[in-house]
Structure 1
Amino acid sequence: MNTTNLIAALLAWGMLGQANAANTLVFCSEASPAGFDIAQYTAGTDNDAAEPLYNRLAEFEPGGTLAVPALATAWEVSADGLAWTFHLREGVKFHHNAGFTPSRALNADDVLFTFNRMLDPQHPFRQAYPAEFPYFTSMGLDRNIESVSKTGPMTVVFRLRQVDAAFIQNLAMNFASILSAEYAEQLMASGKPGDINRRPIGTGPFMFSRYQKDAQIRYKANPDYWAPAQVKLNQLVFSINTDPSVRLQKLRKNECQVTLNPRPADVAALKQNPRLKVLEQPGYNLGYLAYNTLRAPLDQLAVRQALDMAIDKPRILQAIYQGAGQAASNAMPPTQWGYDPSIKDAPFDPEKAKALLAQAGVKAGTEITLWAMPVQRPYNPDARLMAQMLQADWAKVGIKANIVSYEWGEYIKRVKKGEHDVVLFGWTGDNGDPDNWLGTLFSCASVGSNNVSQWCDPAYDQLVTQAKQVTDRPTRIGLYQQAQQRLKQQLPITPIAHSTVNQPVSAQVEGFVVSPLGRNSFTGVQLVD
């Protein structure tokens, strides 16, 4: 067997040694994705797994939040703001993979398939492969997009019912990744529409090779990528490791070259290692506690206020974040434009909390469930310990919190169904617009998806809806600040912290950029000696 064939065989058998030998980069990720049909999912783990495979009409510039041309080379907006016309890039090829050989390049039919599947519950593919699209619906796009049509083979027009100031930012998000209509037709004909989620086809810089749950995902370079200079790796491997100590051990041994979410206590030592770099950025994120407002006794504002003021937040920040985070009092980070700095937390006051609970008729010893994430997230480095500290705080005011956890994918699914009483959750901003926080997480439309508090407040909803329908930024800021005040008053969540993002990488890695949007992209990334 010659050297080339030997390397290929070792890769195929999972016997990867030094990654540089085959120009292979290994990313130590923290959890298994639920699937690869990214329109169905919202978690960062799912977005990371889909990122190498797909492109959108517009995409965010590396390391920023500006939407720039991608599969669309240009777009125009009508004078009334209701019609968006996109001009598609010529010659973009879908992957030759998973038994699929495309007969044509990207065209308007692919864009129409991608969005009409989400828009139309009666769409033939959606009937054959039922799916929900939480991001699309939580942002109200299912109601606001009146139609998606083509005016030529390479021109697509979106018609809106209302002005959407964040529309281009929304289309740059992963849920709007463009799928192959031709591949979908082949799957329908073969009776395997679910393979769109298991055997993905996109236009991205890497092609899907294989996935073993809780072990690894393998990708290979796309030889036909429309921006060939951005593909600098032959192979990309996601090594799935839920334990942060295992991820760091592999990084130190060069068994992976990029990882994420180190424990705060490990950061100083990582920075001293000459073979590593630690990329640092202020966190565009929020770790928070969400109260299920549809469940007694949490449906009472006084109860939520009591639980909120019984939390010793400084103690939690010291123990969990260890200097790598700042206390959060608002529903979005201070780095987000439109943030209201006047919002403050209620003072820590266990005695007042006891009185509020008594007035609400909640007896000492009342039990609730407190759900804790099973994985590290950028906004919460140790959810289990945080849950234990909350449990102790609430025990002092007479509330018995029983800690619950599930595998990450199952956890998300059950939380969105509202099975919890109180849940530790969080968010990293996706598109740089306040609506991605205040609308996506707390609007009535997002109940059942990203609004895990199940909170629907008409006064609040009117404010965030109105803010999205105007394009003047000062006007939008005023409306969003009113919404933040209303949210703080009604308290469907307790904000805990905004964490600093520390991302360790091998010194051999060049071109990797920490995204403020929490994306781990390997486009343009290379390994050097």
Structure 2
Amino acid sequence: MRALSRLLLASVTILLLAGCEDPFSDNSVRNRGFIYCGPGQPNTFNPQLTDGGLTADALSSQIFDRLLQLDPKTYQPVPMLAQSWTVSPDGKEYTFSLRRSAKFQVTDWFIPHRGVNAEDVVFSFNRLIDSDHPFHEVSGGEYPWFDSMDFSGLVERVEALDDYTVKFTLSRPDVSFLSTLATTYAVVHSAEYAEKLRREDTLSRIDTHPVGSGAFYLDEYKPQQIIRLKRHWGYWNGAAPMEQVVYDVSIRGTGTLAKLVTRECDVLSSPIASQLSVIEKDPDFILSSQTGMNVAFLSLNTRHPALSELEVRQAISLAINREALIQSVYYGTGTPATGMLPPMSWAYNEKTQTYFDPQLAIGLMAKAGYRHGFSVNLLVPLTPKPYNPSPRKTAELIQSNLKAIGITVNLIAQEDVNRKQLREDLDSLDMVLTGWIADNGDPDNFLRPLLTCNAKFTGWNLSNWCNRYFDRFLDAAIATDVRADRRDLYLQAQGILRERMPIIPLAHGVHYQARNATLQGITLSPFGDKSFANVSRSR
């Protein structure tokens, strides 16, 4: 999304509000708000355009609402902007009744004249699925998360039946559709604001100057410094206790742990494993943890001459010491992965095991014709993630393990992964150390974007792998709403993965968050998103 990044950088000067004090020395922030420290810089304020990162994980839930949200305990879709819904007997029509009390935010660049209605929902989703929509090509015209789910192929039509009733017509039954609408990507924009931008011929501002109906609105953005959100007094679920939230996105001075200790930050998102003991010993901080719906894995290019051999892929899996990985990288906090789905998933196969057997791996290498080994490149994104707190250390352990069976691994370090670029260079990749954080609780969200045939072109299938039987099991699983039948289908699909091994599951990480003990109401989600609508500070 290079064009998008250039577009945002060209327009951020409009957001640099004159006369604002340095938030890091402004006591009023802590009196009436808090400072959040987390990795990453936004390249847009519209989560529809992203495939993760700060915008989707931390900003989207503050600025925007969705039709649905995920219950924090059951992980099932519950009302948000939609207060109720019905599904047709054939599973292809979803009709939503909207709440009438939701209002859009008042910002320096837009004053709404009406509340949220069906027109806004139709606009927000037609932009994604209609290539002739006036906003479809704005900011690059790519919607990576929705493309990975084949959203435009699934949704045939979105229409307003009246001011507060919206109907989605699908091309095929999909019982995971409600969960899809509950993700932080499926946000609702203001159609009235979009029309204003269309008249002014400034369409791209919809992505750089957002207007949502969430608990906070964007007040200020200084690239490489801060993002300031202010309280939306008209929020339908009651105004937030906090007046403002300031995101420290600077790269100045000391690291994030030092900022927490010196009180420059009130919340530290995703502290790395080696920092946990320091935080736990300080009574001024509270360390929270949440078992993550995530997985770290090694993606193998199945078109590579050696990696195309099943015995070689099996040997790689047997050669990796996952227990050592958990101890040295995750400091004992993670879980060895036996498959793509984590233990908290209802489709997890508890009978599956992984083995560490270098001698058997050496035998498989010889059987495949690689008795003397071979050399491969391993692309390593260096940015720590909840599923992999230290990618470089993980890569070095894998490098050492594979050397023992004759595979020479050349590490290619990169700050982060541009998945679009990776898809364009699939044939030139040997192995990629990567991972996934689920966006909802449905197993389809783990398997379809990463491993289906269609995902080679629209998703994140970095293994160049395609198995039609695997795809058929997934398609059958979303066509029935019987949980037991769905689980059986997903178990069979996972059986194909274990047999063919296009990826090597490594570990499931735990998501940690540290906060000042005076803050209450900050929760963790296994999906990475978080809302600050109920955060308050004790005195």
Task: Letter of the 2:481 partner, please give it.
Answer: T
- Does residue 54 of structure 2 align to residue 38 of structure 1? no
Task: Name the stretch that deviates more: 317-326 or 356-365.
Answer: 356-365
Contact 2:299–2:503 (CA<8 Å) still a contact in 1? yes
Extract unaligned runs of 5+ from structure 2: 1-16
Give, in whole Å, the separation in 2 of the partners of 1:152 and 1:405: 53
Pair 1:179 & 2:184 matched? no
Taking the TM superposition and a 5 Å limit, the aligned residue runs for 1:7-18 are 11-18=20-27
2:171 aligned residue (161, 169, 179):
161
Greater mean deviation of Cα atoms: 166-175 or 15-24: 15-24
Selected match of 1:142 from 149, 152, 156: 152
Q: Would the aligned equivalents of 1:58 and 1:168 in 2 still touch at CA under 8 Å?
A: yes
The CA RMSD measured in Å over matched residues stands at 2.4
User: What residue identity is the alignment partner of 2:413?
Assistant: S
Q: Tell me how far 1:108 sits from its aligned partner.
A: 1.2
CA contact (8 A) 1:387 1:403 kept: yes
Task: Give me the whole-angstrom Cα distance separating, in 2, the residues matched to 1:13 and 1:252.
Answer: 19
Q: CA deviation at 1:21?
A: 4.3
Cα distance in 1, alignment partners of residues 295 and 247 from structure 2: 25
Q: Distance in 2 between matches of 1:60 and 1:244?
A: 37
1:362/1:100 CA distance change after superposition, 3 Å:
farther
**Cα pair distance change 1:105/1:495, threshold 3 Å:** same
Deviations 1:6-54 (A, max 9, x none): xx98854444344654412111111113322211212243312322110
Q: For 2:510, which of 496, 500, 503 is the aligned residue? A: 500
Give the SS at the match of 2:185: helix
With over 3 angstroms needed to count, the CA separation of the structure-2 counterparts of 1:244 and 1:137, relative to structure 1, is: farther
For residue 98 of structure 2, the aligned residue among 78, 83, 88 is 88
Contact persistence 1:31–1:375 (CA under 8 A): no
Aligned to 2:261: 252
- Deviation of 1:89 after TM superposition, in Å, equals 1.7
Residues 236-385 of structure 1 mapped to structure 2, 5 A cutoff: 236-240=245-249, 246-345=255-354, 347-362=355-370, 364=372, 366-385=374-393
The residue that corresponds to 1:221 in the other structure is: 231
Equivalent-residue separation in structure 2 for 1:472 and 1:450 (angstroms): 28
Q: For residues 259 and 232 of structure 1, what CA distance do their matches in structure 2 show?
A: 20
Contact in 2 for aligned 1:22/1:235 (Cα 8 Å): no
Q: Give the whole-Å Cα distance in 1 for the aligned partners of 2:418 and 2:138.
A: 27
| 1:205 aligns with one of 215, 230, 234 | 215
Q: Answer whether contact 1:301 1:490 (CA < 8 A) is retained.
A: yes
Residues in 2 aligned to 1:473 and 1:127: alpha-carbon distance in whole angstroms: 39
Trace 1:473-492 onto structure 2 (pairs within 5 A). Answer: 473-492=483-502
Query: Which shifted more, 446-455 or 87-96?
Result: 446-455
1:415 maps to 2:422: yes
Could you say if the C-alpha distance between residues 184 and 191 of structure 1 is closer, same or farther in structure 2, counting changes exceeding 3 Å?
Answer: same
- CA distance in 1: counterparts of 2:369 and 2:439, whole angstroms: 41
Q: Deviation string for 1:153-194 (max 9, x for gaps)?
A: 111001122221111111010111001122223333333322
Residue 329 of structure 2 aligns to a residue whose secondary structure is helix
Native 8 Å contact 2:419 2:460 kept in 1: no
Q: Distance in 2 between the 1:395 and 1:432 partners?
A: 37
Partner amino acid, structure 2, of 1:186: K
Aligned with residue 431 of structure 1, among 420, 440, 456: 440
d(CA) in 2 for partners of 1:363, 1:117: 54
Counterpart-to-counterpart distance in 2, 1:18 and 1:393: 51
The SS at the match of 1:102 is: coil
Specify whether residues 387 and 208 from structure 1 end up closer, same or farther in structure 2 by C-alpha distance, changes over 3 A only. same
Distance in 2 (alpha carbons) for counterparts of 1:489 and 1:442: 14
Shift of 1:90: 1.3
Counterpart CA distance in 1 for 2:28 and 2:401 is 47
Shift of 1:98: 4.9
* Shift in CA distance, 133/513, structure 1 to aligned 2, threshold 3 Å: same
Q: Is the 8 A contact 1:372 1:383 kept in 2?
A: yes
Q: Aligned pair in 2 of structure 1 residues 59, 290: CA closer, same or farther (>3 Å)?
A: same
1:3 corresponds in structure 2 to none
Counterpart-to-counterpart distance in 2, 1:151 and 1:291: 48
Question: How far, CA to CA, are the matches of 1:213 and 1:304 in structure 2?
Answer: 43
Segment of structure 1 superposing worse, 308-317 or 127-136: 127-136
Deviations 1:418-453 (A, max 9, x none): 363211212222211111112232222322423333
Question: In structure 2, what is the equivalent of residue 68 of structure 1?
Answer: 78
Shift of 1:215: 3.2
Counterpart for residue 516 of structure 1: 526
Q: TM-score, normalised by structure 2?
A: 0.90
Q: CA deviation at 1:149?
A: 0.9
Contact 2:24 2:264 in 1 (8 A): no
Once residues 252 and 439 of structure 2 are traced to their aligned partners in structure 1, the CA distance between those partners, rounded to angstroms, is 26
Distance 1:513 1:459, change over 3 A: same
SS in 2 for 1:372: strand
Q: Call closer, same or farther: CA 1:46–1:453 in 2, change over 3 Å.
A: farther
Structure 1 residues 255-287: Cα deviation after superposition (integer angstroms, max 9, x where no partner): 111112222232233222111111123232211
Paired amino acid for 2:421? R
2:109 is equivalent to residue 99 of structure 1: yes
CA distance in 2, matches of 1:184, 1:9: 26
Q: Structure 1: how far apart are the matches of 2:131 and 2:370?
A: 43
TM-score calculated relative to the size of structure 1: 0.91
Q: Report the counterpart of residue 25 of structure 1 in structure 2.
A: 34
Tell me if 1:406 matches 2:414: yes
Structure 1 unaligned residues grouped into runs of 5+: 1-7
Report the Cα distance in structure 2 between the residues aligned to 1:464 and 1:495, rounded to whole angstroms.
19
Number of matched residues?
519
1:65, 1:516 within 8 Å by CA — same for their partners in 2?
no
Contact kept? 1:343, 1:485, Cα under 8 Å: no
Distance verdict in 2 for CA 1:181–1:406, change over 3 Å: farther
CA apart distance, 1:524: 0.9
Q: Which amino acid aligns with 1:251?
A: L
Contact 1:62 1:513 in 2 (8 A): no
Given that 2:38 and 2:270 are in contact with CA atoms closer than 8 Å, whether structure 1 keeps it comes out as no
Residues 1:481 and 1:507: Cα distance change in structure 2 (over 3 Å): same
User: Distance in 1 between the 2:423 and 2:55 partners?
Assistant: 16
Give the superposition deviation at 1:350. 3.1
Cα separation, 1, equivalents of 2:254 and 2:71:
32
CA distance in 1, matches of 2:253, 2:388: 13
Alignment map for 1:382-393 (pairs within 5 Å):
382-393=390-401
Residue 187 of structure 2 aligns with an amino acid whose one-letter code is S
**1:414 is aligned with what amino acid?**
Q
How many Å separate the matches in 1 of 2:323 and 2:301? 24
